[in-house]
Amino acid sequence: MYTLFIGSHGLKISCLAFLLLLALATLNHQWLVLTHARTLDRDVFGLIAFYMEVKDRDSEWRGAMEKWPVHTCNISGVCEIDPCGFEFQEHRKDWEGVSCRYQWNWDRSIPRVVTNIHLPKRDLTGALPRSYLLFDNITEIDMDTNMLTGTLPREFGCLRNLIEIDLSNNQLYGTIPQEWNLLNGLVEMEVDGNRGLSGCVPAECPPFNRFCGGFFGTPCPSFTTDRLIGTDIRGTRISGRCSPYTGGDSALAAGLSCPLPGDAFYRDLITRFFTEQQQKQKTSARAANNSVSSSGGDAAAASGSSAGSGVDQNTTIKQTAK
Confidence of residue 91 (pLDDT cuts 50, 70, 90): very low
For the ranges 22-26, 35-39, 64-68, 84-88, the lowest mean pLDDT is seen at 22-26
- The CA distance from 42 to 54, in Å, is 18
Confidence of residue 87 (pLDDT cuts 50, 70, 90): low
Q: Give me the mean pLDDT over the 277-285 stretch.
A: 80
> In this predicted structure, what is the pLDDT of residue 90?
44
Residue 182 scores a pLDDT above 50: yes
Q: Where are the domains of the chain?
A: 1-92, 115-259, 287-321
Q: Give me the mean pLDDT over the 29-50 stretch.
A: 74
Is residue 201 helix, strand or coil? strand
> In this predicted structure, what is the pLDDT of residue 107?
77
Count other Cβ atoms within 10 Å, centred on residue 56. Answer: 9
For the ranges 2-16, 114-128, 270-284, the lowest mean pLDDT is seen at 2-16
> In this predicted structure, what is the pLDDT of residue 73?
67
> In this predicted structure, what is the pLDDT of residue 259?
92
Confidence of residue 213 (pLDDT cuts 50, 70, 90): very low
Which has more confidence, 308 or 64?
A: 64
Question: Burial of 175 by CB count in 10 Å (0-12 exposed, 13-18 middle, 19+ buried)?
Answer: middle
> In this predicted structure, what is the pLDDT of residue 111?
86
Q: Does domain 115-259 have CATH number 3.80.10.10?
A: yes
Question: Burial of 44 by CB count in 10 Å (0-12 exposed, 13-18 middle, 19+ buried)?
Answer: buried
* Cβ contacts of 156 within 8 Å, gap of 6 or more: 132, 133, 141, 162, 165, 177, 179, 180, 183
> In this predicted structure, what is the pLDDT of residue 85?
78
Confidence of residue 278 (pLDDT cuts 50, 70, 90): confident
Mean pLDDT computed over every residue of the chain: 78
Q: How far is CA 218 from the centre of its chain?
A: 33
pLDDT digits (tens, 9 = 90+) for 199-209: 999 999 988 76
Q: Which of 49, 108, 92 is nearest to 100 (CA)?
A: 92
Sign of the alpha-carbon torsion through 248, 254, 256, 261: positive
Confidence of residue 224 (pLDDT cuts 50, 70, 90): low
